[in-house]
Amino acid sequence: MSEISSSLTDSQNFTVSYLRNSCGLSQKSAISVSKKLLIENPEKADSVLELMRTHRLTQTDIRKIIGTRPELLLADLEHILRPNMELLESLGLSGAGLGKLLIREPRLLQRDVGDTVDFFKAQGFSDKQIAMMIIKRPALLLLNANKIFKPKLDFFRSVGLTDEDVAKILSRCPYILQRSLVNHIMLCVEVLKRVLGTNEDVLKVIKACNGIFEYNLEKILVPNILIFKSYGVPKPVILRSFVPRPRTLLLRPEHVTEVLAEVVKLGFDPNTTLFILAFSSMALQSKTLWERKVEAYKSFGLSEDQVYSAFRMQPMCMLTSVKKIKKMMNFFMTKLSIEPSVICRYPGLLLLSLEKRIIPRCSVLQLLMSTGFMKEDVNLFSYLIMTEEKFVENLVRKYQNVLPDIVKAYKGKIEFQGFAGII
């Protein structure tokens, strides 16, 4: 007790000791709290701390939560604290996750949040989706759901989004619920309608980019469309790319201008979709990451000219991760004995799944060759890029009666050993 300031009353001294010993607060913080709140019933405070520990909050969690909201030690345990803790846990929030949430927003334990949770459940949100919203925007539970949220949900449904769409979008981007309906959300939809022309495309954009409502579209989308037009890109080409990939037109106009200049230098035709794909590939990643990918290709013996030649044929080959580039190139070279320069002529292969498509198909071809049903001088690439339906029909179903193992090979249950000399 000697460490505690002698200028404090006995009640304050006891409070300081309790906050330090039971809650882990520092001397300074405990003294500060004791001037605003006195713990005169330690049994009640003990019950609050025991409740927190029961829900697997650590001593560090407790120190931070009580340090921010010490009045929780005096809150109504049975009617507010316990029901709220149990409600949050019922949504899948417990232990470390619950601790992080309550550190960010300890007020969730002081207010009756059940009505807001019930509101979202009644609107078709799953427990997991509600939890996702709370983790990202915990303060949502403190707002009046019927007054603030319902008009926005009703508006989204009025433009054609289903209950499932609304729940999916808002659980991913709950900040939308804190934006003004009239001054932001409605304006975003109006700009999209004006630019795209059809409700169908508006819905596609919203579903493809849930974060679309984060932007001031009048200051971002509209200027960017004008910039693309100034480079000779027809509006239909712009919109054809924007609808499935909205982020291409939600970048800073200065960045858009800079990347477009690079795309033009590389010789892409502004009248083609390849022009937009090239822009997307370059604009949606940093220069550092772009250079790492170029170096990854070059590490297999390719020249920079060859890398850019592949990019001109299939711009999306530069959206593939560095890890996948190395994995794919290594597989083609070691297992299929294909020269890097040949791979560059078929850059679309780098977009395919190695485990789900390429290896199973190679296993099928390997089986057919080893059993004499197929010659070894086939055009491998033609089989790898063939549609799923055609591949199954022409190879798997055609031979499954005389070669039952072909189904196993197609399902990846027969290890692919590799082959050479079939290109």
Domain assignment present for 338: no
> How many domains is the chain built from?
2
* Alpha-carbon span 336 to 292, nearest angstrom: 25
How large is the average pLDDT for residues 83-96?
93
Q: What is the pLDDT of residues 266-293, one digit of tens each?
A: 999 999 989 999 999 999 999 999 999 9
CATH code of 16's domain = 1.25.70.10
**Of the residues 111, 128, 149, the one at which a domain ends:** 111
Structure tokens at 396: 């798997």
Average pLDDT, stretch 187-212? 94
pLDDT classification of 377: cutoffs 50, 70, 90: confident
To the nearest whole percent, how much of the chain has pLDDT over 90? 82
96 falls within a domain:
yes
- Report yes or no on 393 lying in a domain: yes
Residue 19 has pLDDT above 60, yes or no: yes
The answer to whether position 264 is within a domain reads no
Question: Residue 1 pLDDT > 60, yes or no?
Answer: no
The Cα diameter of the chain in Å comes to 97
Can you give the pLDDT at residue 4?
A: 46
CB 266 within 8 A of CB 226: no
Three-class secondary structure assignment of 356-392? HHHHHHHHHHHHHHHCCCCCCCCCHHHHHHCCHHHHH
Segment 359-386 shows an average pLDDT of 89
How would residue 380 be classed by pLDDT, with cut points 50, 70 and 90? confident
pLDDT at 200: 94
Tokens 């470390």, located at residue: 96
pTM of the model: 0.78
Q: What is the mean pLDDT of residues 146-169?
A: 96
- pLDDT over 90 (residue 94): no
In 3D space, the residue among 72, 53, 131 whose CA is nearest the CA of residue 97 turns out to be 131
Q: For residue 5, what pLDDT band results from cuts at 50, 70 and 90? A: low
Residue 420's pLDDT band (cuts 50, 70, 90)? low
Residue 20 lies in a domain: yes
Residue 294, domain member (yes or no): no
Residue 93 region by backbone torsions, left for phi larger than 0, else alpha for psi between -120 and 50, else beta? beta
Any domain includes 51:
yes
| Residue that is last in its domain, among 111, 136, 166 | 111
What is the model's pLDDT at position 7?
66
Boundary of a domain, candidates 111, 130, 155:
111
Alpha-carbon distance 110 to 108, whole Å? 6
pLDDT higher than threshold 90 for residue 379: no
Determine the average pLDDT of the residues in 294-302: 95
Average pLDDT over residues 207-227: 93
Residue 91 domain flag: yes
CA–CA gap between residue 12 and residue 1 (Å, rounded): 11
pLDDT at 423: 46
Per the structure, the complete domain to which residue 366 belongs is given by 354-411
Q: How confident is the model over 35-44, as a mean pLDDT?
A: 89
Contact, 309 vs 347, CB < 8 A? no
What is the overall mean pLDDT for the chain?
Answer: 92
High-pLDDT (> 70) share of the chain, %: 97
